[in-house]
Structure 1
Amino acid sequence: MKTRIHAIAGTIGFLTILLFWTSTVLSELFASHATVATVKSAILMGMFVLIPAMAIVGGSGFSLAAGRNEALVSAKKKRMPIIGANGLLVLVPMAFFLESKAAAGQFDATFYSLQAVELLAGATNLVLMGLNMRDGIRLSGKAAPTTQVTLTSSETIATGTMAFHMTKPAGFQHQAGQWIRLTIADAAEDGKASSRILSIVSAPDEPQITVATRLSDSAFKRSLSTLTDGAELTIAGPSGTFTLHEDASRPAVFIAGGIGITPFMSMLRNVTATKAPHKIALFYSNRAPAGAPFLSELEELQKANSNFQLIATMTDLDAQDSWVGETSKIDQDMLQRHLKDLDAPIYYCVGPAGMVTATQKMLRAAGVAEQDIRVESFTGY
């Protein structure tokens, strides 16, 4: 929902500035002074639309970007303060001043000089906002090329969780940690999209594409869970930059909640297969072992990869559950028990939005630098 609000407010802001800019240029070139004054008055009234829209864009944008350090997100974060300063320090004051000058019929050198400044500032914001909208589309994966795949098999991998194996199209290459947008052509409808973003579980060198998801009562998830082998699906991607850092001298700490394990499975399979030297500790939180996707495979990966340490915790055990290990939520105390130095690693966190936000706050409170915290939130469980 936050992403949609951000996109809608950004579109409104962009189109409003574009309307202001084009109406100003056209009226100045081809209309009378009276029409220019009318345009200036309309622009001033339009600020009651533009200012709230831009405030929403800025607030939602920084909230969505929190903890994300990918190149596209970083570029958007750098542009946003410039857009805001341009609006507050140039465009808004100019709108009031030029409207008063036009209403008084004072079309003098000062008016036209400031008008040029306003047009330049408006053009700058249009360019920067256009770049942000372009990068937003890239981040959403909606601009990624699509291709047809075939479902080869599906399986239940934990309580309420299924994995789906698909043919890999010729030329399909992904980095461990990336995702695809999966579309079911004949999915049942409930007012929501017929596609979902799903992290790729399979390693880059595996012959098939595998994704996994928690099941829910949404029409898409119901349709997905009832697909039979041989079903034709559409995928877009791969997309995303939530990938393991290249500098193996810095250890990695993965923090996963539930189905948030999926991008980490691709990374762990890949580093184990390629014998990458990265030291990795995975803190993996679930309610109970039966609901923990890929838990058995993770235990096997720990045996096969001496650089990988698994710390699983079960936070809501029943009396019949057999579990020897951590049972509390992942917090600073747990990290300190298992890590030698909290400042050394780069941290990756994936899970429900609330869990991710709480983990970010915990890591900041522990003194971890913001640039060493990388996150992805999963919604719509």
Structure 2
Amino acid sequence: VILRENGVEVGRVPVAIATEPPEYRRKGVRPAELQALNNYDLGSLPDVSPDDATDALLQLLNRPNIASRRPVYRQYDQQVLGNTVVQPGCDAAVVRIAGTDSGFAVKTDCNSRLCYLDPYVGAAAAVAESARNVVCTGATPVAVTDCLNFGDPEKPEVYYQLEQAIRGIAEACSEFDTPVVSGNVSLFNESGGRPVFPTPVIGMLGLIDDVHTAMNCAFSLPGADVWLLGAGVEQPATALAGSEYLEMAHDLVAGLPVVDLTAESRLQRLVLAAHSEGLLLSAHDCSDGGLAVALVESALAGEYGFRGDISIDGRLDAALFGEAQGRIVVFARPEAAARLDALARQNQVPLTRLGAVVEGDGFSIGPVQSPLGPLRDAYETGL
């Protein structure tokens, strides 16, 4: 590469510096503490009682990892020259491509607790969640950028986390056909001699043909059915692995997280197919805080209540606050039920009716009952 100024050569750099960098292959060692943490019997922990379930939900909504990000995104221009179609606050922002009806959706995701417990699963789950978020707007995921934040890779345990996370990202991106087109790496992040939790942040880009059909996460029509796509309401204690509730209620980061990339693909295809047929009013990813938090977020976004029609016979904490992967809550008119059920069967995705959107500010699911006011106060004051 030759650099010239006013026709005079001022620098010459061999191309090989950029095209033939050194390649380091170190030996990774699985952190010793993971054996006990992955094998921890989450079923031995006390379940949340029906009387305490509402208070637990309020506490979760006020946690910094779950609370509204409005204090952050209100600080900058959300309109982007008037082309913003779906604003921040739901699953992904959607922006119109100027001069067209097409647009793109963007979202970043990562759960560092999952990545600590299993860097491969956690990184793959970050790709899956960011793709779900984009799909919930009606956009098709097309590309990824990443930001890999780790400790000192010269330590075998950290190198293990890095290589396993990269493997998880690669396999998930291959499954979703979303190439990694850019990214950056931040290493040697430590404090007091201990590395940060591995945090491979995934930025997902999606494309939507007509921004007028873009969805947000809000309850928008009283009487609409609320459905859960993917793994059902009843969950084993293992669904609490790496969850926000587990850390809040038991001061514990433990368990073995699981991700099924094939099931994730089927779920996302189903939502995009249902959206393309005009069956869905809105959609919301079920992730941090579990099902109860996802439903509250949609109720608050639309300022309508929710009445759950389900009974919970197993563990309450796992059903309400477990963070099983591969689930999306969708909202549809009652007349769309038959076609939605047919598409779910066609894509081999479980479908569960949760209840309905209602007028007023009541919220109920299982033993949880609350007006929207206290839920909103908790959610909006966590940061």
TM-score bracket, normalised by the shorter chain, equals under 0.3
Higher share in helix: 1
Bigger relative CO (Cα 8 Å, ≥ 6 apart):
2
Greater Rg by CA: 1
TM-score of the aligned structures, taking structure 1 as reference length:
0.19
